[in-house]
Structure 1
Amino acid sequence: MTADTIAYLGSPGTYSYQAAVGMFPDAEHVGLRTFGEIMETVEAGERKTAVIPIENSTSGRIPDVHRLMLSTEMAIVQERMQRIEHCLIQAHSGPQPVSELGSITRILSHRQGFLQSSGFIEAHCRDAEQIETVDTASAVKQVAELGDPHVAAIGSSVAAQVFGGVVIERDIADQKNNYTRFLALEKPSLDPDYSDATITTLIFQIDHQPGALIEALAVFRDAGINITTLETYTISEETALPTFYIDIGGGLEDDAVQSALRALEEKARYVKLLGSYVASDVRNANSGFLPVKSVKL
C-alpha cells in the first residue's frame, strides 16, 4: 500500500472515480465492487481513504451508504460536489451513432443512472429493458464490447472515452444541474485539525416522545447555527429509538458549535461525531445543496 491509496466504487470512468481523482489527484486510485468493501479496506488499514457518494441532488440519499454511517468508526475529512452529466452511450459503428433512440431494446446502467434519467427514458426509450450494473462505467464497458446496435448504456462521457463508446445523447438527467455529494473518510487522526472546518456531521438519537426532536434541534437555533441536512433512519435493532443524520454549518472549533453540542448531549440519548471539515464552495442553488451560511431571498 502506498501512503495515499484511495478506494472508490467501480472502475475508471465512474463518477466515483472522477470524484476520487478530483479530491486526490496525485494519489493511487483503486476501484472496488461494493461500498462495504471500500469501508472495510480503509478500516483495516489496507487503503488510506474511502471516497463514497452520500446523496444526489435529484434522487436524494444513497441508502447503502446512509446505513454504513451508523456503524463506521472513520472520520469524514472532505466533501466534493461532483457534477453528474449522464449520457446515452452506444458502441462505435463508424462516425455515426449505431441506432435511433426508438430502436433501443435494452439499457444498462447503475440504479442511480436510471433514477436520475427516468424522464428521458420515459420520453424516448420507455419500452427498453433496464438492466442494472454495479456502476455506470461497467455498463458502458459492456455495451462497447457487445457492439449491439439495439443496446445502450447510461454513463459518463469519460467512461465512453475510456472504453471506446460513442455518446449519442448528452446531459439526459432529469435535473440539468445534477450533482452528487461525495465524502472522503479516513481512520481518525490522533491529533485532528479542525481549524479550517466549516461544516460538521453528526448522528444523534433521542427518546421517542412528543417534542423530543424539536428540543434537540432547538440547540442549533439557539446557537445561531444552520442545519444543511437532516435525515431520519428507519427503526431497526440498531436504531430502536429515533435516530438522525445531521450536517450543521460550523466547524468543531467554533464556540457556537461547541456550545450547541454540549446542549445536544443533554437532550439526546446518543451523539456520534462523524467529522468536521471544509464545506464545498459548490454549495448553492445550482448544485441543490444548501450553503452553510444563511441566505436571504
Structure 2
Amino acid sequence: MSVAFLGPAQTFSHLVAKKRFPKRKLLPLPSIPEVVEYVRRHPLSSGIVPIENSSSGMIPETVDLLLDRSFSLCIREELALRVRLALLGRRGAKIKTLYSHAAPLYHCRNWIMQRFPEVQLRRVASTAEAARLASLEPASAALSTRDAAILYGLEVLEYPVADDTANLTQFFVLGHRPAGSGARETSLAVLLKEKVGSLCSFLEPFREEGLNLKRIVSHPVMGHPNTYFFFLSVQAPNTDPRFIQATEKAKKHTWEMRLLGSYPVRRPYSS
C-alpha cells in the first residue's frame, strides 16, 4: 500500500508523508495531477496533496482537480504541518542568489529584504529543487528543509527562518474509499444557479444551522463566462443532522452539488 506525494524527496510534502505514514512505501511524483492519477490507477494506494498555505493561500492546482467533474477520489484526511524553514548554503560564502518555492519566498519576504536586500530571488518548483540548485552554485543558498541539506551536501546556516509568523501548510489525503470514522469536516463542490443573490441564498442555511465554513473558493467554469464552481469546507461531518438540514435547503439554489469527502482533521505536525 503505497503513498504518493508531491516530490521530489525532502520537500515538506515528503516530511508530512513520513510523519503520517512512517511504515508505508512513499512515492515522490513531480506534480499534483500525477499524484491524483497514480491514486486513481492504484485502488489500494493513497495520495497526499497540499491544499492551503497560511501565507500564500489556496493551492489552485489542487482546487482545480477537486472541482473537475472527472475527479473520482475521496478526501480521506486533512493533515497540517507547521513549516519551519532553514537557510541552506556554504558557511562564509557571500550569497548572491536565493532559491526556493514561491510560498517560502513570499512568507520570508520581509526577512529577505532585511538580511539580503540585494540578493537575486529564484522561484523553483520545490524547496528540494532549490537545495539541489544551490548545491551547484557556490554563491547561492536555498530556503528549504534541514533534511535537504544532508541530501545535497549543504550546511544549515540559519534555522528557523522568519519564525515570528505562523506558517502552516494543510494537505489532503486522497483515496478510493471514504474515511471510516472520526470525520470532523466535509468538503463540497457546488455549481450555483445563475440568479441574483444565489451565493447568499446558498450560504444562509449553514448560518441558520450554526455551521462554520472553513473555506470557500470560486473557480470559473471553462467555456461559460461568469459561471463558477465553488469549493467549500464545512466544519462538520456529513452525518451531522445540522449538515444534512443545511445541504437539503442549500441544494435548491444549486445546479450541482458533489460530496468530495467527510474526513478527520489531524493535529498539526512540526517540521
**Same fold by TM (over 0.5)?**
yes
Structure 1 residues 193 and 60 mapped into 2: Cα distance closer, same or farther (>3 Å)? Answer: closer
Structure 1 residues 35 and 116 mapped into 2: Cα distance closer, same or farther (>3 Å)? Answer: same
SS in 1 for 2:147: helix
Of 56, 59, 78, the match for 2:56 = 59
**Does 1:136 pair with 2:133?**
no
Q: Is the 8 A contact 2:237 2:262 kept in 1?
A: yes
Give the partner amino acid of 1:206: L
Displacement of 1:134 after TM fit? Answer: 2.2
Q: Is the 8 A contact 2:55 2:103 kept in 1?
A: no
**Does 1:17 pair with 2:14?**
yes
**Aligned twin of 2:175:** 186
Q: Is the 8 A contact 1:194 1:251 kept in 2?
A: no
Of 234, 240, 243, the match for 2:229 = 243
Of 98, 108, 129, the match for 2:92 = 98
**Aligned twin of 1:29:** 26
Structure 1 residues 193 and 68 mapped into 2: Cα distance closer, same or farther (>3 Å)? Answer: closer
SS in 2 for 1:170: strand
Q: Which whole-Å deviations, capped at 9, do the CAs of 1:53-104 have from their partners, x for residues lacking one? A: 100011111122121111222110011111111121104xxxxx132xxx32
Task: Tell me, in whole angstroms, the C-alpha distance in 2 between the residues paired with 1:47 and 1:135.
Answer: 27
**Aligned twin of 2:253:** 267
**Does 1:89 pair with 2:79?**
no
Identify which range, 105-114 or 269-278, moves more after superposition. 105-114
More contact order relative to length (CA 8 Å, sep ≥ 6): 2
Displacement of 1:239 after TM fit? Answer: 7.8
Structure 1 residues 86 and 122 mapped into 2: Cα distance closer, same or farther (>3 Å)? Answer: same
Q: Which whole-Å deviations, capped at 9, do the CAs of 1:239-293 have from their partners, x for residues lacking one? A: 852321111111111111122222222221111111101123449xxxxxxxxxx
Task: Tell me, in whole angstroms, the C-alpha distance in 2 between the residues paired with 1:147 and 1:278.
Answer: 43
Task: Tell me, in whole angstroms, the C-alpha distance in 2 between the residues paired with 1:147 and 1:214.
Answer: 53
SS in 1 for 2:92: coil
Taking only aligned residues, the RMSD between alpha carbons, in angstroms, comes to 2.1
**Does 1:76 pair with 2:75?**
yes
Task: Tell me, in whole angstroms, the C-alpha distance in 1 between the residues paired with 2:198 and 2:150.
Answer: 52
Query: Number of paired residues?
Result: 267
Which runs of no fewer than 5 residues in structure 1 stay unpaired? Answer: 92-96, 284-297
TM-score calculated relative to the size of structure 1: 0.83
Q: Which whole-Å deviations, capped at 9, do the CAs of 1:139-191 have from their partners, x for residues lacking one? A: 113323x250x10011011222333221112232476321100110012x2xx
Task: Tell me, in whole angstroms, the C-alpha distance in 1 between the residues paired with 2:250 and 2:109.
Answer: 40
Q: Is the 8 A contact 1:201 1:273 kept in 2?
A: yes
Task: Tell me, in whole angstroms, the C-alpha distance in 1 between the residues paired with 2:109 and 2:243.
Answer: 40
Identity %: 25
Task: Tell me, in whole angstroms, the C-alpha distance in 2 between the residues paired with 1:104 and 1:231.
Answer: 39
Q: Is the 8 A contact 2:39 2:46 kept in 1?
A: yes
Of 156, 162, 168, the match for 2:157 = 168
Structure 1 residues 55 and 105 mapped into 2: Cα distance closer, same or farther (>3 Å)? Answer: same
Q: Is the 8 A contact 1:6 1:50 kept in 2?
A: yes
TM-score calculated relative to the size of structure 2: 0.91
Give the partner amino acid of 1:263: K
Matches within 5 A, 1:252-291: 252-282=238-268
